[in-house]
Chains A and B, each alone.
Chain A
Amino acid sequence: MTTRRDALKVLGGLAASATLPRLGLAALPGSERRLVFVFLRGGLDGLSAVPAYGDPDFVAKRGELAIAPPGTAGGALKLDDFFGLSPYLGEMHKLYEARELAVLHAVASPYRERSHFDGQNLLENGTLKPFGRDAGWLSVALAEAAGASGVALGPSIPLLLRGPASVTSWSPSALPTPDLDLLERLAQLYRDDPLLAKPLAAARHAQGMMEGNDARAMGGGAQSVAALAKAAGTFLAKPDGPRVATIDFGGWDSHANQIGEYSPLTRNLRLLDRAVMTLKSSLGPVWKHTAVLIVTEFGRTVAINGSRGTDHGTAGVAFVAGGVVPGGRVIADWPGLSDRTLHEGRDLRPTLDLRALLKAALVAQLGLTEAPLETKVFPESRGVPPLEGLFA
């Protein structure tokens, strides 16, 4: 049986905060900094994305779901001597090797129940309660960063970006663009409308920025993650564009048959892999100022369930990528997979609060200070300081 301390040893000193380079917080919150939030809705199975092949209980607990160690057929891509990366995340692995992607494991939001919808809502509203407020932490954070705006890629704006900030949204369309005169008249007509005036102005601005971009015509319509990633890059690469983009990516609720070349989980991992690369190339030189956060509402059960899937769990995995990320490391205070260490006997135990990562991103990319972060953005979060050294 491995203790937590042993696991730390296995990791060779672990890239936990003690050994991270002290890069300092809020070093350069310049306005060229950009932030992309990719929300994997449905609960990504963290141990499929980032298998802890070095954990002595990994194979026994995961059964058929246990991804083979690096170096074996169909095995994981090596991250270190303890963790691997899903073989379907090959592009992300290249980023890891280029030290532009870091992995955080055993991470969870403060939510400890197992409802997707409450879990997503809490993660988005930034409070300690589902439906704790009608605004998202990212919108509140943007409002604190003077003059910064956001864009939601997709036909609707997630709670995360609803609230006080100036936000637009965009997704591909096959309908003819309305003529300018009609738009002017509607702008007049909506002038005093509390619900429609701002969205119309924001939509017109977004349409202007996307003029002539071929993401407009990419297949798959509003649901295509690659098209949305490309568009996100286009928006953020504009010098006067939004500084924050969100991409909603659903379908991660892998209750059954999550293994194999053609399972929905495999397909989604491949789409994610491609979307990250599409985003990087679309950002162009702005990639070096960008942080991409890839987050889900909760992890899944450690053990395989009765139908070769996993049920709703607690801690899981998160990724950070981009030019501002000193990557090539796994950040985890690994709790172990033995029965004794599992949360409620079934889930990976959280050892890192997701808000520490989110706060670090807001400090580095939007220049926020701790005062608004621990009161307004994430109320009652003083005990969860920004994770140091996560971003350069």
Chain B
Amino acid sequence: MRREAIIAVNRFGLGAAPGELAAAASDPRGWLAAQILKPVPDHPAFAELAASSETLKEYPRWIASLRMARGDASATMRADGQPTVRGIEQNFRDFFGPGMLKEVGARLAAGASTPAPFHERLALFWANHFTVSAEKPVIFAVVGSFEREAIRPYVGGTFVDMLVASSKHPAMILYLDNNLSVKPGFTGPPNAGANAPRLTGLNENLAREILELHTLGVNGGYTQADVTTFARVLTGWTVGGPANPGFAFISRRHDAGPKTILGKTYTQDGMAQGEAVLRDLAAHPATATHIATKLARHFIADQPPPAAIERIARAFRESGGHLPTVYAALLDSPEAWDAPLAKLKSPVEYIVSCLRALPAAREAKPQALFFTLREMGQRPFFAPSPQGWPDTSAAWAGADGLWKRIEWAGTLAARAGSRIDPLELARESYGDAVSEATRLAISRAESRQQGLALWLASPEFQRR
């Protein structure tokens, strides 16, 4: 039972906050299941964050301020948010940067203090599954609200609802260029001002990534023709102008008429056609296997056990993608409870687990944490591609990444001073899973600070 608690708190959670291991000890699986069944109130910091509809309305205001500042009437953003004048990108970050840092701060604060860390891990898992990244400048302003609007409300819901919410969210549409995809031969006026690009046809980016990354998976049996046809289905799915800065369906851009995808013909009109395709994709057995594989890789092992994948996939198929049922199958997988410390923490998981273990460290400025995570190779909200962050130990075990974690452990320990008893802290987080070698190293440290640095950089604490 003790071992199950260690696994519940570290593998499925975000590392033990003070007293958490003890709290989970009597019924570790029940402790996890309860986090899914009972909705978790948002962290108070979330209340201060702007909705995507508000930030998208900020665009015109920002453009106006830019013109004022530069006396440059030509300064503008194009429809895809790319700058047209040198330096706009920097200005854009200056303008929207504080809001994004608030998002980073709120997300890390939520992770550091949540009483439902399994729920938080799932939110981060799904946000990574449906990656939108501020590597594309326009996304900078809406990457946090995407997670709060399209991911978090659906973590305890159904997969199809999350898929539809993600596919219609302005952040996803802008990130994967669907606002620029119009029916072939389209000649209508652009709706975003004189500098907007002339749109003349398909852009298959969103259609491809929904098939490859969000639903079926790359070996899910679709063809280039399916990608192209799905792109035609999704034409017209775009983002409204400043007066209506949310999802918009513009029928004159839409390529109407029956279309066949994966052998099935869709005859719906307008937006309903895309929704019907998304529903079928969500219910496709390849999607169940794809999601099950990713969940098992994330929570169990880099090489996910086939039995666990099949158990989770079956739950997905039989429940129609009801996510709490899917999570229950994950928790029912004996493979998940075999041995603690199976995977290396990602930088975000590592930093958050440090903050949970050391409440005093939660005072750190979001900006400092943001830069530290950047240097560790996981700048929050800046995933390198639509595939999201890697999810294997090997990807995070490089020399430089390890070096940065040690630098951070040393810094944090120096700040904590001698208030913390590192051996006590180790026992409170990893119980019996603390090795004799680590225990000995901590007890022989020259100071409590050094002992704490050794614990935070130890092989155990770097794993979950």
> B-contacting residues of A (Cβ < 8 Å)?
41-42, 113-118, 130, 134, 152, 154-157, 162, 167-179, 181-183, 185-186, 188-190, 192-193, 195-196, 199-200, 202-203, 206-207, 221-223, 250-251, 253, 255-257, 260-264, 305-309, 311-312, 344
Residues of A near B384 (CB, < 8 A) are 41, 250
Residues of B near A188 (CB, < 8 A) are 441
Cβ-defined contact, B200 with A306, below 8 A: yes
A172 to B215, CA, bound (A): 37
Q: Which residue of B lies closest to A63 (CB)?
A: B200
Q: Which residue of B lies closest to A200 (CB)?
A: B402
Cβ-defined contact, A312 with B208, below 8 A: yes
Cβ-defined contact, B399 with A206, below 8 A: yes
Residues of B near A203 (CB, < 8 A) are 399-400, 402-403
B88, B375, B453: the one within 8 Å of A155 (CB): B375
The reply on B197 being an interface residue by CB < 8 A is yes
Q: Which residue of B lies closest to A173 (CB)?
A: B375
> A-contacting residues of B (Cβ < 8 Å)?
78, 80, 82-86, 88, 135-136, 176-177, 180-182, 184, 186, 197-205, 208, 212-213, 218, 224, 227, 344, 371-372, 374-379, 384-387, 390, 393-404, 406-411, 437-438, 441, 445-446, 450, 453-454, 457-459, 462
Cβ-defined contact, B375 with A171, below 8 A: yes
Contacts A176-B407, A311-B204 given; indicate if A255 touches B177 (C-beta within 8 A): yes
Task: Tell which of B88, B377, B395 has the most Cβ of chain A within 10 Å.
Answer: B377
* Contact residues of A: prevailing secondary structure: loop
A27 to B104, CA, bound (A): 54
A392 to B272, CA, bound (A): 61
Task: Tell which of A182, A185, A251, A256 has the most Cβ of chain B within 10 Å.
Answer: A256
Cβ-defined contact, B441 with A189, below 8 A: yes
A183 to B457, CA, bound (A): 10
Cβ-defined contact, B406 with A183, below 8 A: yes
Q: Which residue of B lies closest to A151 (CB)?
A: B399
A255 to B206, CA, bound (A): 10
Cβ-defined contact, A185 with B445, below 8 A: yes
Residues of A near B213 (CB, < 8 A) are 117
Cβ-defined contact, B462 with A306, below 8 A: no
A174, A189, A264: the one within 8 Å of B459 (CB): A189
Contacts A118-B218, A190-B459 given; indicate if A168 touches B399 (C-beta within 8 A): yes
Residues of B near A155 (CB, < 8 A) are 375-378, 398, 400-401, 404
Task: A156-B398, A157-B399, A206-B399 are known; give 20 further A-B pairs, CB within 8 A.
Answer: A156-B390, A167-B399, A169-B398, A175-B411, A177-B407, A178-B410, A181-B450, A196-B402, A200-B399, A221-B375, A257-B82, A257-B197, A264-B136, A305-B203, A306-B180, A306-B201, A306-B202, A307-B180, A312-B204, A344-B224
Q: List 8 A-B contacts (CB under 8 A).
A: A115-B208, A117-B213, A155-B375, A156-B395, A174-B371, A182-B450, A185-B450, A307-B177
Contacts A190-B459, A306-B181 given; indicate if A311 touches B205 (C-beta within 8 A): yes
Contacts A173-B375, A307-B203 given; indicate if A152 touches B398 (C-beta within 8 A): yes
Cβ-defined contact, A189 with B458, below 8 A: yes
A295 to B78, CA, bound (A): 30
Smallest CB-CB A-B distances: 7 pairs: A306-B201, A155-B377, A307-B180, A157-B398, A203-B399, A175-B407, A169-B400
A284 to B150, CA, bound (A): 51
Residues of B near A182 (CB, < 8 A) are 406, 410, 450, 453-454, 457
A178 to B208, CA, bound (A): 45
A250 to B180, CA, bound (A): 22
**Nearest CB of chain A from residue B411's CB, rounded to whole Å:** 6
Cβ-defined contact, B201 with A199, below 8 A: no
**Nearest CB of chain A from residue B140's CB, rounded to whole Å:** 13
Contacts A156-B395, A257-B197, A260-B84 given; indicate if A186 touches B387 (C-beta within 8 A): no
Cβ-defined contact, B385 with A253, below 8 A: yes
A207 to B395, CA, bound (A): 20
A256 to B177, CA, bound (A): 7
A177 to B411, CA, bound (A): 9
A179 to B379, CA, bound (A): 26
Cβ-defined contact, A114 with B224, below 8 A: yes
Task: Tell which of A186, A264, A307, A308 has the most Cβ of chain B within 10 Å.
Answer: A307
**Nearest CB of chain B from residue A257's CB, rounded to whole Å:** 5
